[in-house]
Each structure stands twice: as C-alpha cells, then as structure tokens.
Structure 1
Amino acid sequence: MTPTHLPGRVAIPALPEQTRAPRSPTLLDAFNTASPEEAHHLLLTCLRSLRWARRVADHRPYPDLDSLQAASDEAAYDLSPGDLSEALAGETLPALPDGMYEAAHMALSAAHAAYEAKFGHSFVICLDGLPPGEALNHVLAGIRSRLANDPEDERVVAAEELRRLAKGRLVNALGGAGL
C-alpha cells in the first residue's frame, strides 16, 4: 500500500537529536532544579504565603513561564482566608518613583493608615505596566475607592491584586519573559 499524501503538504523529517543546537540553561531551569528550600525562598519573595509557595514549588518542573504563571494563579485562587491574611501581612506600601512631592507622600500615608485601620492589613495594588508618573495617582485613587468596600469584598479585591503581584514578581525573579 502506498502512503497517501495530502496535496500542498510536504513532510519534513525531524532532525536527529545530535544535530539540534543545544539549548542554553535558563533561570526557569535553575528554578526547576533548585532545592525545595531555595525554591520556597524565591517564591516567598513573590508572595508571602507558605501554602502558595509550597504548592508552586511542589509542582515543578515547569516546561515554560506560562505554565509556572498558571500554577501560580491556581495556587493563589485556592488561598484560604488564613493564607490570604498571611500573604497580606507580608506586603508593604508600593514603592513610588523618586521625586514625588512631600505632600503626595503625606496624602498616601494618611490614605494607607485609613485603609489599614478599616481592613487590618496593608493595601496592595499591582502597578505592572503603569507608567511611573501615574503610580501615585493610581495608588491614591485605588485606596480611596476601595475604602468604600465592605471587608469581605475588599478581601476578594486584595486577593486578586496579590495574585497579579505574584505573577509579575515571578516573571521578574526569573529574568523576564525572554527566558
């Protein structure tokens, strides 16, 4: 029986293994092969939840950054209220660009204090992709609008912001999207 060929299609055989160019090791490769303690340490710099870090580390190796980010999201969606409280307790006020006016810093500090008094944890907001000059206005507007939330609604918003922060921090920790 002769093989059937589809018109317009050309079969291209795969290159033998020995002729393929070797792939350079990446930071993702280093993360995949790191000890559990090293992986946990790196992950805790992205999100300060022991359960999240353990889950993400335990599912290694990851074939690519997209898979790692998907695992990060899944683990973040599964945080219990206690895990969320632990992660929020490890957050600090977002860094703002140098050169902001003292009055702006005072306004931010006052808004942050009001937020902490109402919700009992640090305000978290992801500023990824935002031009530095817009960070202060974005943070202030975010705090002011979120102060109107009830505590349960705000926990949902804060959990989503933590998830976004963790993904961005993972990308930064592993050398960016060009792994």
Structure 2
Amino acid sequence: MHLKEFNAAGRDEAAAALRPCLDIQRWIDGLADARPYPSLDALLDAGRRTANPFAPAEIDAALAHHPRIGERAQGNSTEAKLSQAEQAGLGEADAAVAQALADGNRAYEEKFGQVFLIRAAGRSREEILAALNTRLSHTPEKEQEIIGQQLREIAVLRLEGLIEQ
C-alpha cells in the first residue's frame, strides 16, 4: 500500500493495514487517527513513539502472536508471512545452534513466563543466541523494557515493508 493510499483509506482499512505490524490496539488507533502523514519517515517516527512505553497487558497480547525464535509462524495471514520472512533471513542453523536456541527458549519461558522476543531481521542465529543468553540474566522488569523496544523495532520494520512512499 502506498502512503497516499494509506492516508486516504477509511479508518477501518487503515487499521487493518496496521494490525499485522503490531496487534496492539492503542498503537493501531494512534497511527490511524494521526493521518495524514506527510512522508513515510513521519509515519515510521510516529510508529516508534505512539506506544512508548507499552503496558504489560499490551506486551502480553502482542507476544501471543509471535512464534518462538527458530520456529516458523503458522498460517497464511499477513502477520504470519512477515514473521516467516523475518526468520527465513536467519538461514539454516547447525544442529548445535538450533538445540541451544530451543534450550534457551525453554529456559526463558520458564523464567519469564513468555516467549523470547527479538527482532530477527538483520541478525544471525548466533547473534540471537548470544542475546538470549544475556537476557536470561535480566530481571523481569528489565526484560519488559527490552521486549517493548523489540516490539517497536519489529513493528516499524513491518510498517516500512508494508507502506511505500
């Protein structure tokens, strides 16, 4: 969708275009209601600012849509396709890295009660594994802060991929 089309779209259509980027209603409403945007950069900046910080319940809702790192999102929805493309960029992992990610995911979920979330785009599996191991030492409060940042990064990357200048 071009920015001009996004700006001119009806409220429901604009909200539907935003939902695969980040399924947090406050973020969707904030971006849809602030139209028109003079440039893609202005939209992306708004995407970064609109829900900063996220409330814990918003993070929980958003995490419900994210697969574990190293696992493919299921389905044919736009959100699933975006997640599949992001993780496909990781390439094939050797067996040791794949096992370490699986073990790390389990340890993270046991400690924090939620999936490990990281912006996969632009990172190797080894970089993600290193970040996972570092984040296992965090407090729950520190992790909430980092997850919020990762959600924003993912949302803005997806927004940039869906809306063209």
**TM tier, shorter chain?**
0.7 to 0.9
Among candidates 29, 33, 51, match of residue 8 of structure 2: 33
> Bigger CA drift: 112-121 or 93-102?
93-102
| Structure of higher RCO (CA pairs closer than 8 Å, 6+ residues apart) | 2
Report deviation, 1:164. Answer: 1.1
Report deviation, 1:81. Answer: 1.9
Percent of paired sites with the same residue? 33
TM score, norm. by length of structure 1: 0.74
Q: Is the 8 A contact 1:27 1:174 kept in 2?
A: yes
Mapped to 2, the partners of 1:98 and 1:154 lie a distance apart of 26
CA RMSD of aligned residues (A): 1.8
Give the letter for the 2:44 counterpart: Q
Mapped to 2, the partners of 1:153 and 1:86 lie a distance apart of 18
Among candidates 148, 151, 154, match of residue 165 of structure 1: 154
Alignment of 1:12-51 (within 5 A): 27-51=2-26
State the match for 2:144 in structure 1: 155
Unpaired runs of at least 5, structure 1 = 1-25
Mapped to 2, the partners of 1:85 and 1:126 lie a distance apart of 17
Give the letter for the 1:145 counterpart: T
Is 1:69 equivalent to 2:44 in the alignment? yes
* Residues 59-92 of structure 1: CA deviation (Å, up to 9, x unaligned): 1111111111121112120422211221222222
| Structure with bigger gyration radius | 1
Unpaired runs of at least 5, structure 2 = 70-86
State the match for 2:130 in structure 1: 141
